[in-house]
Structures are given as C-alpha cells and as structure tokens.
Amino acid sequence: MKSFSESYKQAGVDITAGYRAVELMKEHVARTMPDGKADIGGFGGLFPLALGGMKEPVLVSGTDGVGTKLRIAQLMEVDDTIGIDCVAMCVNDILCCGAKPLFFLDYIACGKNFPEKIARIVGGVAEGCVRAGCALIGGETAEHPGTMSETDYDIAGFAVGIVDKAKIIDNTKMKAGDVMLALPSTGVHSNGFSLVRKVFDVENIDLMQPVEELGGASLGETLLAPTAIYVKPMLALFEKVEALGVSHITGGGFYENMPRSLPEGLGVRIAKKDVKIPPVFELIRLRGGITEHDMFNTFNMGVGMSVVVRREDVPRAVSVLRRFGVDAYVLGEIVKGEGVEIV
C-alpha cells in the first residue's frame, strides 16, 4: 500500500518539498526578528507587543499583492526581489495613517513547490521587512497542481502596524497654502503592469536588451526595480514635522490617490514641469501612444509617496527625508477646490 505522502505527491503536492522550503526560509526570517531567531512552522505567528508609552494604541492593517509585475519576474527568472514589492505595497499603505509597521505575513501560491525558489522569494520578503523595520512572523506556501503551471506562482501579504490615536494623520488640519512634497519612486513600482506588458509585448521581446532611452539599462531590470519602502524616512519625519496628509501613489496614479489624503473642499495644484518623471514613463507613453492624462491616472510618474506639510515646515521636512537618502522636493500647493490639477 502506498503511503499518504506518496499518493499526495502523485497528485501533485510534495509535502517534503514544503518542509524543505520552511528550513531554507529560516535564515531569511531570522534577519527580521529582534532576537535573531526564526520561530516559524507553528499554526500562528507570535509577536510581543511593546506599546512604548502609547495612551491609546490603534492597530492598522493592510493587505496587497504585486499584480502582474510577477510576470516580468517569471520571464526573467528573477525571484529574489518580488517579495520586497509585496512588503512595500502593504507597509507603505499603513504608513499613510502614521502607523509604524510591526509584523508581516506572506502567502505564496505555486504550481509546484521548488524549495530553493520559494526560499528566494521569501528572502525578498525578509529583505522588505528589514527595510521596513518589521518582523516576518509567518506565512503560507500552497501548491496548486492542475490549476497553475509548475513555474507559476503568486504572492500576497498582510501587514499590521500601530499608532497612538493622538498621532493618526489628521487631514482636517490642512488648509490652502500648505505644501505637498514628493518622495521619488524607484520606477514603475507595482502598478500598471497589465498596460506595461501590453505596450512592450513582453512575452515576445528580449527583456535584457539594453535600451537607449533608459540610459543603456535593460527594460527588464528597469521594470523589475523593487518598490521603494518609505517607512524609516517617514517615521523620522513624523517625529520632527506634523504631516497633514500622506498618500501612497499606487494604481490610479495622481488623480485617484492624492485626493485620498485631502479633506473636503481642498485640492492640490501641481506644475507639470516640477514633476521629476523618470525616462521609463516617457518610454511607456511614446511606445503606447498613451495620453498624458492617462499616464498620470495610471502610474506614479516618479512620485511614490506624497506628504502635505505646512509651508514653514518644508525646509525641515525635506532635510529629514534627505538624511535617509530620499531626494524629496516640493511638488505642489494645496488650494481651495477638489482633486488634482496639473498645469
């Protein structure tokens, strides 16, 4: 009689590969833990909660994936950075409330569990957690034979952060004349890739071919650049300057995301000449014949996060962010009205 594990393996699920993947993950997970120990493999992830003198601690959560950017990673057979994107998409979101990320969990679905490949993916997740200053306390890897090809996989994540209720970002304090700052992106980040893949026909080109418009870099490496994680510079900013509104510029670009940080009755006016747009976006626009409005309504256009501060706080805010290597700059002005006006 066949053992259960042998029968299950014939059905497409290799339990021993799962055990091997967990063992390979442990050194990556340990990098994210305060004590340097990777206690994974149980039924739940544990995290010691130090409130640090907060009077009314509020937990803030966020979940996301990386969309079809995964296809670029799969075509290039690069598995060790997509996890950074997954962490970034979650922690940057909860940062918009003023929260400090505490811990992260990931979920990986794959057609076949190749332990070394799964470990590389989780290694990227761990690197993202290190950059965000949070712990990777657990996750799940699920084999889906018969529903995904052996080389396919998908990844999603879930982050939890904390903020004292009195320090939650309050956009009702915002007024006309305040200033919006831009925190530059590292490129396309993790949104708009369905359009990107169509524009460049990525299934049928050499993604490693140098592209003159990109300064000789390849399209593949440019598109695969990991999403910036803004946690450490922004937490430092929150300590020195009162942030009046924060937006993570994801799908929907300027027009959808920036208004989410503005109160009713106020909008933002941005001079197009002041937006520092990386070459990859101009390449997308020209190759795809995409209108300028649609570009700003789809992509981050070089601005990964925006923060509104009082005009008198601009020099200090920019100084704090630049100490963390973030080349922040004045993007626009808060005005009476609604939405985003690009002139």
pLDDT range class, residue 26, cuts 50, 70, 90 = low
Average pLDDT over residues 78-94: 97
Q: Does the domain made of 171-342 have the CATH classification 3.30.365.10? A: no
Q: Above 70 in pLDDT, residue 292?
A: yes
- What is the CATH number that goes with domain 4-44+51-167? 3.30.1330.10
Helix H, strand E, coil C: the string for the chain is CCCHHHHHHHCCCCHHHHHHHHHHHHHHHHCCCCCCCCCCCCCCCCCCCCCCCCCCEEEEEEEEECCCHHHHHHHHCCCCCHHHHHHHHHHHHHHCCCCEEEEEEEEEEECCCCHHHHHHHHHHHHHHHHHHCCEEEEEEEEECECCECCCCEEEEEEEEEEEEHHHCCCHHHCCCCCEEEEEECCCCCCCCHHHHHHHHCHHHCCCCCECHHHCCCEHHHHHCCCCCCCHHHHHHHHHHCCCCEEEECCCCHHHHHHHHHCCCCEEEEECHHHCCCCHHHHHHHHHHCCCHHHHHCCCCCCEEEEEEECHHHHHHHHHHHHHCCCCCEEEEEEEECCEEEEC
Please state at what angle helix 82-95 crosses helix 231-240, rounded to 10 degrees. Answer: 20
Q: Above 60 in pLDDT, residue 35?
A: no
Q: What percent of the chain has pLDDT over 70?
A: 87
Q: What percent of the chain has pLDDT over 90?
A: 82
Task: Map out the domains of the chain as residue ranges.
Answer: 4-44+51-167, 171-342
Residue 239, pLDDT score? 96
Report pLDDT digits (tens) over 222-263: 999 999 999 999 999 999 999 999 999 999 999 999 999 999
Residue 325, pLDDT score? 96
Residue 44, pLDDT score? 74
Q: Above 70 in pLDDT, residue 151?
A: yes
Beta bridge pairs of residue 100: 162
In CATH terms, are 4-44+51-167 and 171-342 the same topology? no
pLDDT range class, residue 47, cuts 50, 70, 90 = confident
pLDDT range class, residue 121, cuts 50, 70, 90 = very high
Residue 34, pLDDT score? 65
Q: Above 70 in pLDDT, residue 171?
A: yes
Report pLDDT digits (tens) over 274-283: 999 999 999 9
Average pLDDT over residues 318-332: 97
